[in-house]
Structure 1
Amino acid sequence: MRTAYSVETVRAAERELIARLPEGALMQRAAAGLAAVCAGLLRKVYGARVVLLVGPGDNGGDALYAGARLARRGAGVTAVAMDPERIHEGGLRALLAAGGRLADGVPARADLVLDGLVGIGGRGGLRPAAAALVERIPAGAVVVAVDLPSGVDADTGEVAGAAVRADVTVTFGAYKPGLLIDPGASRAGAVRLVDIGLSLPEPEVEALQDAEVGALLPVPTASSDKYRRGVVGVVAGSAQYPGAAVLAVSGALRGGAGAVRYVGPAVDAVLARYPETLIGRGRVQAWVIGPGLGTGRAAEVAEVLADPVPVLVDADGLRGLDPAVLRGRPAPTLLTPHAGEAAALLGVSREEVEAARLTSVRALAAKYGAVALLKGSTTLVSAAGGPVRVNPTGTPWLATAGSGDVLSGLTGSLLAAGLDAVDAASVGAYLHGLAARRAASGAPLLAQHIAESLPEAWRQHP
């Protein structure tokens, strides 16, 4: 499990550790780890041209001490201070003693640039002085961010203005949410964690990895039959969108449940593609409702929500939901909106949701008393309380018509198979992203290709 912690939590853990260590020891641990990563990226340190962009805080100190270590190994290290009057004095002394230098401007050429401008406490994008230095980063240089790319909000991943785009981010002690959640995650590059000995409580954000997903997948036993494995009901499709029903059923059939029951007007299309589908209402262990439903189907949504089993609501089913109804349900409800649908549910603009995805998914869960899966470049899963889960898989090629319908069916099937709503949403998003990545292989894909690749993604987790 990859876990991430807020700035407040990390700072508290650092203070506790600093109180038990000799003065400056924690910064030296961070600098040693940072220098080691940089050396590995350079491959040959001797003679390499290294530029340090140095801010006034401890982040700048980390960069200076790491630069000193590289200079002692023969690198030509140049520091450029955002504010020379507030540069970290101990770090500057160490750099100069190791043979590094302090310059007024960013050199025109560099092999590696260390971004030590703003630490994890920064908010609101880069100030003009910092942005001016970032604009002068030499083309072709490997950019390494110290703890977090400057200009990214560590707690949320929000980018309010200019920000560094790193090739590698070396983060200390713990991952920060902004390294895992877009738009910040897309600016972090490859993230390397340096253990500095922090003792940390329950995380604010977490991301399942292969091992956790494999442990959660429902596997039939010798005594299983299709009903014991769970039956998922799918209410989807309309005269205008019959394909949504087919795609939702395609995901449900590959999600671990023993049977899929379809209810809706696209029976012929569903049976033509998947003759194993059960037709008509009957007993189910979970419902999926919404994909391609169209308008005027509110009564069907209400009927499904009245059934005391887990319900996944997607797409057109999300319109006009009453928070009081969802809060009063005796079984879990899972909402799976994209940013536009989430904006309607929260009464805000789509731009607000996209800019503050972590805040938005938490707000959805709190307002509706449900588990919320917010789809997007970083898919997030939140319940009311507990860590938010970040999905680490996927590809930009997932932005294609019908992919969400496959995800709904897949996740609803996992619900019917017995996973709780948070785990079903997390595992569904993980497998969906992995299947899409495999199906795309760098080229456009269709939603049906995602469904067809799910067995291969599943087999990766025996």
Structure 2
Amino acid sequence: MQAFTVEQVRRLEAAATQEVPEGALMQRAAAGLAVVVAGELERRTGRAYGTRVLVLVGPGNNGGDALWAGARLARRGVRVEAVGVLGTPHAEGLAALLAAGGRRLDPTALGDLRRYDLVLDGILGIGGRPGLPDDVADLVARVEAAEVPVVAVDLPSGVVADTGAVPGASVRADVTVTFGVVKVGHLLEPARARTGRLVLVDIGLDPTTETPELDAWDVARVADAWPWPAQRSDKYAKGVVGVDAGSETYPGAGIMATYGAVHGGAGMVRFLGPESAHAVLTTNLPNVVFADGRVQAHLLGSGWGDRPDGTQAVAAAVDSGLPGVLDADGLGFRPDELPESWLLTPHAGELAKLLGVARSEVEDDPLAAVRAGVERTGATVLLKGSTQLVARPGVRTVELAVPGPAWTGQAGSGDTLGGLCAAVLAAGRPAHEAAVLAASLQAVTAAAHPGPLPPHVLAERCADQLGAWWQERHP
């Protein structure tokens, strides 16, 4: 799935309007929106005829889409009532709704919102300011308290279309119907959680004329792209990972990174971390080798703390010419320039420190931040978090891993993710693919095994998930 910015959408819409009669795009949007709303009513109540829909109307085309859709629903026997909550309603759309039998209400006459079967959010579109005025926010809060299902028009009102930020009050939709192309904010948290089920309606735009901002992977694509071993693959063909992670102070980081590498399919893992971790690894992962030697990818940094020779260790690994993953404490020992074959895996706080900005700046615009990380370091960057973004040098489009549940947000998850990334990297995949595949595998596995599993146990389940994908493709 590809996603685009507001500026790109404006260009696409402008180009499309040159080819069709005036108002055609709005009518296409309204028709598709009405179909989705009717389907949602039938799914929830068993019918559309006789149900009640409240349309919250703002100014501009977004409100127009909602009003024209309301007119179509009214002609199908839905009792549609519209209330203007912001600005001046779209004149033609309002006239069409009233002509079809819909009603316009004053906000003070709404009464008990539980009498409605569905609310249609047509307050703000992609051009709206983030957040909602206090009176509108109060009404939206009443809708949520009444537990009336909400269908958002194009995107939930109040969210930032280009970043996914939610700086103030916003609508929380059960379904969002968007038009032409997916917008960036639909796919990035925290706006993603307010989007609900996303439905794309074709209105005749041609997205091939624009470079997408986001390329979101799905599960099938991840499974198809995984570096599956051939029948004659030996351990070196599958990839050998050299893990230099952990310390005497933080031995667990090295252990969990090794769990990730082993269960991510590495042909061999050489553990070069602290000796205090050897006993645990020998007992639980006896296939791990405790000796230096040939590897296909490095993994360094997690759990290092203030390692005296950290700069030299990173420099030696980079100078080997092999790809690698640099995580956590290791980020502070990086050279000024890294090759694209090296993957940095910071969370928001670590990326903020790397860029010399506040963490909130990274969280408010993660796309800009992950691109800045690439620009600053020359490496490929995986920004870890609720939405996991991968950027690489020379490529505008940022890749988005399959999202997972919040259970993965616990100490050690990043360590095991680093090991998973290194395993894919050692198998020969480029750094950006290794990042997306590994992050997606961890997320899909967490979704399949809900609950706060310790990161090393979740890593073990990753092997089960790989096995399930393999069987699906080799019945």
What is the TM-score of this pair, normalised by structure 2? Answer: 0.92
Helix, strand or coil at the partner of 1:426: helix
- The residue that corresponds to 1:279 in the other structure is 290
CA distance in structure 2 between the aligned counterparts of 1:458 and 1:251, rounded to whole angstroms: 13
Alignment map for 1:37-436 (pairs within 5 Å):
37-43=36-42, 44-83=47-86, 86-105=88-107, 106-109=110-113, 110-128=116-134, 130-137=136-143, 139-201=146-208, 202-265=211-274, 266-296=277-307, 297-298=309-310, 299-322=312-335, 324-326=336-338, 329=339, 332-384=341-393, 385-436=395-446
Q: Which amino acid aligns with 2:297?
A: A
* Partners of 2:219 and 2:402 within 8 A in 1: no
* Alignment pair present for 1:456 and 2:459: no
* Alignment pair present for 1:3 and 2:9: no
CA distance in structure 1 between the aligned counterparts of 2:403 and 2:37, rounded to whole angstroms: 27
Q: Which amino acid aligns with 1:294?
A: G
What do residues 262-286 of structure 1 show as CA deviations (whole Å, max 9, x unaligned)? 1111333322221111222222111
Helix, strand or coil at the partner of 2:404: coil
Helix, strand or coil at the partner of 2:238: coil
What do residues 46-73 of structure 1 show as CA deviations (whole Å, max 9, x unaligned)? 2211111111110000000111111111
Q: Which amino acid aligns with 2:345?
A: T
What do residues 337-376 of structure 1 show as CA deviations (whole Å, max 9, x unaligned)? 1111111111112222222222211111121111111111
Helix, strand or coil at the partner of 2:20: coil
CA distance in structure 2 between the aligned counterparts of 1:397 and 1:95, rounded to whole angstroms: 45
Q: Report percent identity of matched pairs.
A: 50
* Partners of 1:148 and 1:169 within 8 A in 2: yes
CA distance in structure 1 between the aligned counterparts of 2:452 and 2:295, rounded to whole angstroms: 35
* Partners of 2:386 and 2:403 within 8 A in 1: no
More helix by share: 2
- RMSD value over aligned CA atoms? 1.6
Q: Which amino acid aligns with 1:217?
A: W
CA distance in structure 2 between the aligned counterparts of 1:428 and 1:154, rounded to whole angstroms: 28
CA distance in structure 2 between the aligned counterparts of 1:69 and 1:165, rounded to whole angstroms: 24
Q: Which amino acid aligns with 2:325?
A: L
* Partners of 1:7 and 1:155 within 8 A in 2: yes
Shift of 1:444: 2.0
Mark the runs of 5 or more structure 1 residues left unpaired by the alignment.
none
- The residue that corresponds to 1:36 in the other structure is 35
- The count of corresponding residues between Structure 1 and Structure 2 is 454
* Partners of 2:337 and 2:379 within 8 A in 1: no
Sort the Cα spacing of 1:123 and 1:321 in 2 relative to 1 into closer, same or farther, 3 A. farther
Shift of 1:83: 4.1
Helix, strand or coil at the partner of 1:181: coil
* Partners of 1:333 and 1:370 within 8 A in 2: yes
* Partners of 2:326 and 2:344 within 8 A in 1: yes
* Partners of 1:50 and 1:78 within 8 A in 2: yes
CA distance in structure 2 between the aligned counterparts of 1:83 and 1:149, rounded to whole angstroms: 15
Q: Which amino acid aligns with 2:102?
A: G
What is the TM-score of this pair, normalised by structure 1? Answer: 0.94
Sort the Cα spacing of 1:339 and 1:373 in 2 relative to 1 into closer, same or farther, 3 A. same
Helix, strand or coil at the partner of 2:235: coil
Mark the runs of 5 or more structure 2 residues left unpaired by the alignment.
none
Sort the Cα spacing of 1:125 and 1:254 in 2 relative to 1 into closer, same or farther, 3 A. same
Q: Which amino acid aligns with 2:287?
A: E
Helix, strand or coil at the partner of 2:171: coil
Moved more, 262-271 or 72-81: 262-271
- The residue that corresponds to 1:20 in the other structure is 19
Moved more, 388-397 or 418-427: 388-397
CA distance in structure 2 between the aligned counterparts of 1:454 and 1:7, rounded to whole angstroms: 37
Sort the Cα spacing of 1:158 and 1:408 in 2 relative to 1 into closer, same or farther, 3 A. same
Helix, strand or coil at the partner of 1:227: helix
* Partners of 1:77 and 1:101 within 8 A in 2: yes
CA distance in structure 1 between the aligned counterparts of 2:292 and 2:382, rounded to whole angstroms: 26
Helix, strand or coil at the partner of 1:52: strand
CA distance in structure 2 between the aligned counterparts of 1:451 and 1:135, rounded to whole angstroms: 40
CA distance in structure 1 between the aligned counterparts of 2:175 and 2:468, rounded to whole angstroms: 28
* Partners of 1:436 and 1:449 within 8 A in 2: no
Helix, strand or coil at the partner of 2:120: strand
* Partners of 2:261 and 2:423 within 8 A in 1: yes
Q: Which amino acid aligns with 1:183?
A: P
* Partners of 2:62 and 2:153 within 8 A in 1: yes
CA distance in structure 2 between the aligned counterparts of 1:141 and 1:118, rounded to whole angstroms: 19
CA distance in structure 2 between the aligned counterparts of 1:460 and 1:169, rounded to whole angstroms: 32
Sort the Cα spacing of 1:294 and 1:83 in 2 relative to 1 into closer, same or farther, 3 A. closer
* Partners of 1:218 and 1:256 within 8 A in 2: no
Shift of 1:21: 1.1
CA distance in structure 1 between the aligned counterparts of 2:54 and 2:261, rounded to whole angstroms: 53
CA distance in structure 2 between the aligned counterparts of 1:280 and 1:287, rounded to whole angstroms: 14
CA distance in structure 1 between the aligned counterparts of 2:17 and 2:111, rounded to whole angstroms: 35
CA distance in structure 1 between the aligned counterparts of 2:446 and 2:52, rounded to whole angstroms: 40
* Partners of 2:314 and 2:333 within 8 A in 1: no
CA distance in structure 1 between the aligned counterparts of 2:401 and 2:223, rounded to whole angstroms: 15
CA distance in structure 2 between the aligned counterparts of 1:153 and 1:83, rounded to whole angstroms: 18
CA distance in structure 2 between the aligned counterparts of 1:179 and 1:306, rounded to whole angstroms: 41
CA distance in structure 2 between the aligned counterparts of 1:357 and 1:141, rounded to whole angstroms: 32
